[in-house]
Structure 1
């Protein structure tokens, strides 16, 4: 792929031996379940594959805490697709129904799609393990972040060697929720308790993710700090569907961005 053909992506530093990027609204929509023409989604995903240099696999995310290990196999082979009842067999890039993926493979990259939830990218290059997690409100409470770290440790990573990237998401100034939901999340992850800039209950997903990572023994946690609702660089479900937000937050079309990690 030439430089002119490469889609705009934002590099993420997860250390030597790992390549990671975030896609943007300018990259295009990577979500297969938001009503876009499947051929256009496939075209955008193919351009991201061109950037990464290997196939990119995804999970069908269901706001849970299941972690799927993309197991080693014959070099160059695509991961086995584990279909389950209700799975969308029409998406050939989906390898499991889960909210996190972990692998030791170097011939595929892992992708996580988001639009206000937190894309969590993790790597232990020395241990040869990478992972991604989709951390929304329910997944955070149910333990998807801790489960991802534990699964990576089971694959040979060490928490003190892990570098974690907490990507752009709906921030605590903007992610308004009913007080009961805020309190439910805070009961499980106290750092996630927040208040919007207009004084109503809110959830700070990135702060909650960081708290869980630190409690799981991950010492190297990098925050992007960007808010998907306030910054038009990123897709935002709330900004695209009429959810309450600050007056300066730009309108967005419906779509999904991705965090992608490849162990070199």
Structure 2
């Protein structure tokens, strides 16, 4: 199911893994992504299983319709937050979810102010600064950047994420840390390094990372590792 991480002030974070659900191959088995092509009933059952295993009710969760944007919305109710790749809330009962299968999940909290945020930073979201937008939106809701703790979930690493040179250049245009060299010596993108740099420039000093590469970790879904595939979720909530 994944370990629960204590981010302080009663804030918890967790990343689900691929085993322990009811989905059939190639989505086996704890696929939480409704847009993945899996059977809807199986995904909903998996979501209930994941929430129960982590200790919260599935009806508390806020889900994004993720489209690789840099848009951040404020959620004041559970369910679908709308089309966005970042969501922020001040409601203490809500659980925020970010779905991924190679992209970088961003979970953020100013526990003192009671402001939580979650984002999905894929290559385009990273290029366009969705993580910095998330911080800005949290500050707009009463958080302070220097009080925010961020947990970055698993993502494809810069040694594995090979892209054409023009794609690397586009991604690294505003964030040079995004440029990497793969193990094969080709041009790559390092979303973890890029988003860490973006967060630090936005004033966040406490940045923690899961550190696993989705392509190299068989317990995680990876789009590059085998599409079609399922999605894991990164959750943040107040206990």
Deviations 1:168-219 (A, max 9, x none): 1010000000010111111211111001101110000010010000000000
CA distance in 1, matches of 2:107, 2:55: 15
Task: State which of 50, 57, 62 in structure 2 corresponds to 1:57.
Answer: 62
Give 1:48 deviation, angstroms. Answer: 2.4
Give unmatched runs, 5+ long, in structure 1.
1-7, 72-77, 80-92, 242-252
Contact 2:81 2:87 survives alignment (8 Å): no
Deviations 1:131-175 (A, max 9, x none): 100001101111211110000001111111110011110100000
Deviations 1:69-111 (A, max 9, x none): 112xxxxxx44xxxxxxxxxxxxx4221100111011222010
Is structure 2 residue 233 aligned with structure 1 residue 262?
A: no
CA distance in 2, matches of 1:150, 1:212: 12
4+ residue stretches of structure 1 with deviation over 3 A?
Answer: none
Is structure 2 residue 225 aligned with structure 1 residue 239?
A: yes
Is structure 2 residue 173 aligned with structure 1 residue 187?
A: yes
Partner of 1:198: 184
TM-score by length of 2: 0.91
Partner of 1:43: 45
Contact 2:215 2:222 survives alignment (8 Å): yes
CA distance in 2, matches of 1:44, 1:9: 14
Partner of 1:9: 2
Contact 2:11 2:111 survives alignment (8 Å): yes
TM-score by length of 1: 0.83
CA distance in 2, matches of 1:66, 1:174: 27
Q: For 1:112-261, list aligned pairs within 5 A.
A: 112-241=98-227, 254-261=229-236
Give the alignment's Cα RMSD to 1 decimal.
1.2
Give unmatched runs, 5+ long, in structure 2.
21-29
Task: State which of 12, 15, 22 in structure 2 corresponds to 1:22.
Answer: 15
The number of residues matched between the two structures is 227
Q: Choose 1 or 2 for highest CA Rg.
A: 1
